[in-house]
């Protein structure tokens, strides 16, 4: 069993200027020295800070730090690519190269906490969240009584926005737009129930064929012991998308009068959006709104999965 | 002075072997490196004791021809041709093609059919398709061809694992690890852990990376490159030579392999991963991270240092890594341990390095052969340790340790044992 004792996550707001959702807070810069704030990219400050914030006020020993991201530290990757062109491959600043590395956030959290633990980073599009959850589940089993700090981070850039627009992902149909976004969320987890604020009951990946998904989801939904304190978090971006993968879920929710809550209007879409939804679900459970939240999400019509967050 | 040793052992977290008592067997291997295409070519080249490093060919770069590097002889077009029965539909980046080539080899070697719901793919890469992205980065605002769009949309790491699964017909959820240069050692470790935890029976684990201006300039800006052939563990070492390549291994629970009458090439006996927390890129001079990873691997394999017959070291030939690794080896294994680095043959293949070293190590155990570490002349003064520098045959190699260390202080050691 995976019990969550602490979470932190970012809020986003829509940037009219850029045309996508940008992280708008909280400010985690208190975890850094002034010279670090000058040197480090915003996503590193936000993600490392978010991880450190999550790990405060715990007296349990950490046994691992696991991070997941779909795109990694994009702005620094692009900056180093630009530097190579601008400076014609001479006198380059290694800082941008170092900060582009996918595991730089996991590594820096370990460095800041000074813990020599297991440290892993997954970069796998819409499967990233499930990769992290599987490793976390095994690590918790391998280390009874200890904590795993895991989390997700994503930053968007105009370059990434353009790639996704050109590839047809950010389509627009009948005024239904898909907006890209970004976000960071971190979780502290163990097999111990004391101090738990929520738990991850299960996570499931549905096999990727439309007919099979429809059958599987129906069976899956029917087997959940729904009650008046349950809710569904649905990862569709708009009414158009709702008619595809989510139609069975929506009609089931309507029939059973289960509240169906969307979340991407607050965050935009990104590879690890369901990780962010997990944090929002934990928050709603902590506030007593629901006892069980079933998250459904996919990324670019692939890797449709569910995660159940419950009251411990 | 800061002494990290007294409390390091108590702070290590051991990845205990799961409930499952099955052994994790290697039943298939595939490899592509500067040494050759496929295991036979790689093995013949390693046995000849000759380096495959040559002046780097990186068209469009001002560094073209200026650094030594390990390059795979097959071009993208030739790779696609060799993979003709997979019916490659789009232009894919080089790490994807190299992954497909070696993953298919490993499956064939293990006598496993493609198009199955049994195999869990675990891939690894450092920068994904950036070697393709950088060619198109300038002309973002121009009207792009479909090919350019495909390359750009497959810049991320996860595209590689997704494409490999799709072409090989593997329907189980796949994994993609990116922890810099320790990535594919971590892929193999995760494979073993998934099998031990009962979450998989057959795993296809490995990694790939191709040469790119991005990475070449990155390491150049860190002043980590040697323009001449690299000299691992030598007193006068100057830096690393980049390489490209891919390697995949089929990991299988002993029960599953036995049931289908398949014998093992080697056993994954232990693993350990630790973050060093010294510096975000550099390794500590005392080698605490390397020491920690090697200690954890020994503990999880339930072996004493004396039982390790060879350490296939990370040995990149950078000033920092080789000092750290040498210090850690001396501290844990003493002065008489046989160790060496194959980076002088293949170059440093980044995320593929751990898997390539692992595949070569399995060959070493099967053939009782230790390769000489080339270009070594004088030991590092701080430790006085010398790697194996002459060809050694008819060796009884029961346990080989494979080290792979990366940015972010990410250190991973694996132990392979000779098949019973």
Facing B214 at nearest CB: one of A84, A135, A143 = A84
Averaged pLDDT, B47-61? 95
Looking at residue B6, its pLDDT comes to 42
The alpha carbon dihedral of B237, B242, B244, B249 has a sign of positive
Task: Write down the domain spans for chain A.
Answer: 2-190, 198-310
* Average of per-residue pLDDT across B115-141: 86
With b for 16 or more beta-carbon neighbours within 10 A and e for fewer, the A133-155 pattern comes to bbbbbbbbbbbeebbbbbbbbbb
Average pLDDT on B331-344 reads 97
List the B242-243 sheet strands across, edge first.
B54-55, B68-70, B242-243
Structure tokens at B212: 């790119």
What pLDDT, on the 0 to 100 scale, is given for residue A273? 97
Q: What are phi and psi of B327, to 5 degrees?
A: -60, -45
pLDDT at B146 over 90: no
User: Tell me, what's the pLDDT at B10?
Assistant: 53
The reported pLDDT for the residue numbered B142 is 47
Taking residues B96-106, what's their average pLDDT?
A: 98
Mean pLDDT of B7-18: 54
pLDDT band at residue B332 using 50, 70 and 90 as cut-offs: very high
| Domain A198-310: CATH architecture, name and number where available | 3-Layer(aba) Sandwich (3.40)
Question: If 0-12 CB within 10 Å is exposed, 13-18 middle and 19+ buried, where does residue A82 land?
Answer: middle
Q: Which of A312, A285, A307, A291 is nearest to A229 (CA)?
A: A291
Catalytic residue among B92, B286, B312, B348: B348
Please check the confidence at residue B20 and state whether its pLDDT lies above 90: no
Residue B71's pLDDT is 98
CATH class entry, domain B24-418: alpha beta
Nearest CA to CA, how far is B141 from chain A (Å)?
9
Task: Note whether B62 contacts A103, CB cutoff 8 Å.
Answer: no
* Contact residues for B240 (Cβ-Cβ < 8 A; gap 6+): B219, B224, B225, B226, B230, B316, B317, B318, B343, B347, B348
User: Binning pLDDT at 50, 70 and 90, where does residue B1 land?
Assistant: very low
User: Given this model, what pLDDT does residue A238 score?
Assistant: 86
Beta-sheet pairing, B119-124 with B202-209? parallel
| A92 vs A220: CA distance, rounded Å | 53
Name the DSSP class of B203: E
Residues 234-273 of A with CB under 8 A from B: 271
Q: Is the pLDDT of residue B18 over 80?
A: no
Please state the rounded mean pLDDT for residues B228-244. 98
Q: What is residue A173's predicted lDDT score, i.e. its pLDDT?
A: 73
The answer to whether B286 contacts chain A (CB < 8 Å) is no
pLDDT of residue B140: 55
Q: Which residues contact B330 (CB under 8 A, 6 or more apart)?
A: B383, B385
pLDDT tens per residue, chain A (312 residues)? 899 999 999 999 999 998 899 999 999 999 999 999 999 999 999 999 999 999 987 777 999 999 999 999 999 999 999 999 999 999 899 999 999 999 999 999 999 999 999 999 999 999 999 999 999 999 999 999 999 999 999 999 988 888 888 877 777 777 788 899 999 999 999 999 999 999 999 999 987 666 778 888 999 999 999 999 999 999 999 888 887 789 999 999 999 999 999 999 999 999 999 999 999 999 999 999 999 999 999 998 888 999 999 999
Cβ-Cβ contacts under 8 Å, A88 against chain B: 62
Distance CA B80, CA B293 (A): 38
Catalytic residue among B157, B181, B286, B399: B181
Measured on CA atoms in the order A81, A84, A85, A86, is the torsion positive or negative?
A: positive
Phi, psi (deg, nearest 5) at residue B203:
-125, 140
Partner B, chain A 124-143, Cβ-Cβ below 8 Å: 124-125, 127-128, 130-131, 134-135, 138-139, 141-143
Domain boundaries, chain B: 24-418
- Strand pairing partners for B266? B26, B418
Phi-psi region of A306 (alpha: psi -120 to 50; beta: other; left: phi over 0): beta
Q: Are the beta carbons of A92 and B217 separated by less than 8 Å? A: yes
Confidence grade of residue B143 (pLDDT, cut at 50, 70, 90): low
Which pLDDT does position B11 carry in this prediction?
52
Tell me what pLDDT residue B3 has. 46
Q: Which of A184, A155, A157 is nearest to A280 (CA)?
A: A184
| Ramachandran sector of residue B74 (left: φ over 0; alpha: ψ -120 to 50; beta: rest) | beta
Strand extents, DSSP E, B315-382 = 339-340
Question: B 63-82 residues with CB below 8 A of A?
Answer: 63
Q: Is B13 on the interface with A (CB under 8 A)?
A: yes
- CB-based contact A116 B276, cutoff 8 Å: yes
**Using CA of residue A187, residue A188, residue A191, residue A192, what is the dihedral sign?**
negative
Superfamily classification of domain A2-190: Thiolase/Chalcone synthase (3.40.47.10)
Backbone angles phi, psi at B339, to 5 degrees: -145, 165
Question: Residue B159 contacts by C-beta under 8 Å, 6 or more apart in sequence?
Answer: A125, B93, B96, B128, B129, B153
């Amino acid at each position: 069993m995976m019990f969550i004792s602490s979470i932190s996550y970012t809020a986003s707001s829509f940037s009219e200027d850029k045309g996508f959702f940008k992280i708008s807070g909280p400010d985690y810069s208190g975890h850094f020295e002034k010279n670090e704030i000058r040197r480090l990219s915003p996503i590193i400050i936000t993600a490392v800070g978010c991880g450190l914030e999550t790990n405060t006020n715990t007296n349990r020993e950490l046994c691992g730090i696991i991070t997941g991201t779909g795109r990694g530290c994009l702005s620094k990757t692009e900056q180093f690519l630009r530097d190579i062109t601008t400076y014609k491959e001479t006198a380059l600043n290694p800082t941008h190269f170092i900060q582009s590395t996918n595991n730089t956030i996991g590594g820096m959290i370990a460095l800041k906490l000074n813990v020599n633990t297991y440290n892993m980073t997954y970069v796998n599009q819409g499967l990233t969240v499930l990769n992290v959850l599987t490793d976390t589940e095994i690590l918790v089993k391998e280390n009874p009584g200890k904590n795993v700090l895991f989390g997700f981070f994503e930053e968007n850039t105009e370059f990434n926005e353009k790639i996704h627009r050109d590839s047809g992902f950010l389509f627009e149909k009948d005024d239904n737009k898909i907006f890209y976004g970004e976000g960071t969320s971190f979780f502290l987890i163990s097999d111990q129930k004391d101090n738990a604020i929520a738990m991850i009951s299960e996570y499931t990946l549905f096999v990727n064929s439309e007919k099979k998904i429809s059958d599987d989801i129906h069976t899956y939904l029917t087997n959940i012991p729904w009650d008046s304190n349950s809710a569904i978090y649905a990862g569709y971006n708009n009414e158009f998308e709702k008619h595809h993968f989510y139609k069975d879920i929506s009609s089931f929710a309507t029939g059973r009068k289960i509240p169906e809550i969307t979340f991407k209007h607050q965050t935009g879409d990104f590879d690890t959006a369901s990780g962010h939804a997990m944090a929002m679900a934990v928050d709603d459970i902590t506030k007593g709104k629901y006892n069980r939240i079933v998250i459904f999400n996919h990324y670019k019509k692939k890797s449709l999965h569910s995660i159940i967050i419950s009251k411990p | 002075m800061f002494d990290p040793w007294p409390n390091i052992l108590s702070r290590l977290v051991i990845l205990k072997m799961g409930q499952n008592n099955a052994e994790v067997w290697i039943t298939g291997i595939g490899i592509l490196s500067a040494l050759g295409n496929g295991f036979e070519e790689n093995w013949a080249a390693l046995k000849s004791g000759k380096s495959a490093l040559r002046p780097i060919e990186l068209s469009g770069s001002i560094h073209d021809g200026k650094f030594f590097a390990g390059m795979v002889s097959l071009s993208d077009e030739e790779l696609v041709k060799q993979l003709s029965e997979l019916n490659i539909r789009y232009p894919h980046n080089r790490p994807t093609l190299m992954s497909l080539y070696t993953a298919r080899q490993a499956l064939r070697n293990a006598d496993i059919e493609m198009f199955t719901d049994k195999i869990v793919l675990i891939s690894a890469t450092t920068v994904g398709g950036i070697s393709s992205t950088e060619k198109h980065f300038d002309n973002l605002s121009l009207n792009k061809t479909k090919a350019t769009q495909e390359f750009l949309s497959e810049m991320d790491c996860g595209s590689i694992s997704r494409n490999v699964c799709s072409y090989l017909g593997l329907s189980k959820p796949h994994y993609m690890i990116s922890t810099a240069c320790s990535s594919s050692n971590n892929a193999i470790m995760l494979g073993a852990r998934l099998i031990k935890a009962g979450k998989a029976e057959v795993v296809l684990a490995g990694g790939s990376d191709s040469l790119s201006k991005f990475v070449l300039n990155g390491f150049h800006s860190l002043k980590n490159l040697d323009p001449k052939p690299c000299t691992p563990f030598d007193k006068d070492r100057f830096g690393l030579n980049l390489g490209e390549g891919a390697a995949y291994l089929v990991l299988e629970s002993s029960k599953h392999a036995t049931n289908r009458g398949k014998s093992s090439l080697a056993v994954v006996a232990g693993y350990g991963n630790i973050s060093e927390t010294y510096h975000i890129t550099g390794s500590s001079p005392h080698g605490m991270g390397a020491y920690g990873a090697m200690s954890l691997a020994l503990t999880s394999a339930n072996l004493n240092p004396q039982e390790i017959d060879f350490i296939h070291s990370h040995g990149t030939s950078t000033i920092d890594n080789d000092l750290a690794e040498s210090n850690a080896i001396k501290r844990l294994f003493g002065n008489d341990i046989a160790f060496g680095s194959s980076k002088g043959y293949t170059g440093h293949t980044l995320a593929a390095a751990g898997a390539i070293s692992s595949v070569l190590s399995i060959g070493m155990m099967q053939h009782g052969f230790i390769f000489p570490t080339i270009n070594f002349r004088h030991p590092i003064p701080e430790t006085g340790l010398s790697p194996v520098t002459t060809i050694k045959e008819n060796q009884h190699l029961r346990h080989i340790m494979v080290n792979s260390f990366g940015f972010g202080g990410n250190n991973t050691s694996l132990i392979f044992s000779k098949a019973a």
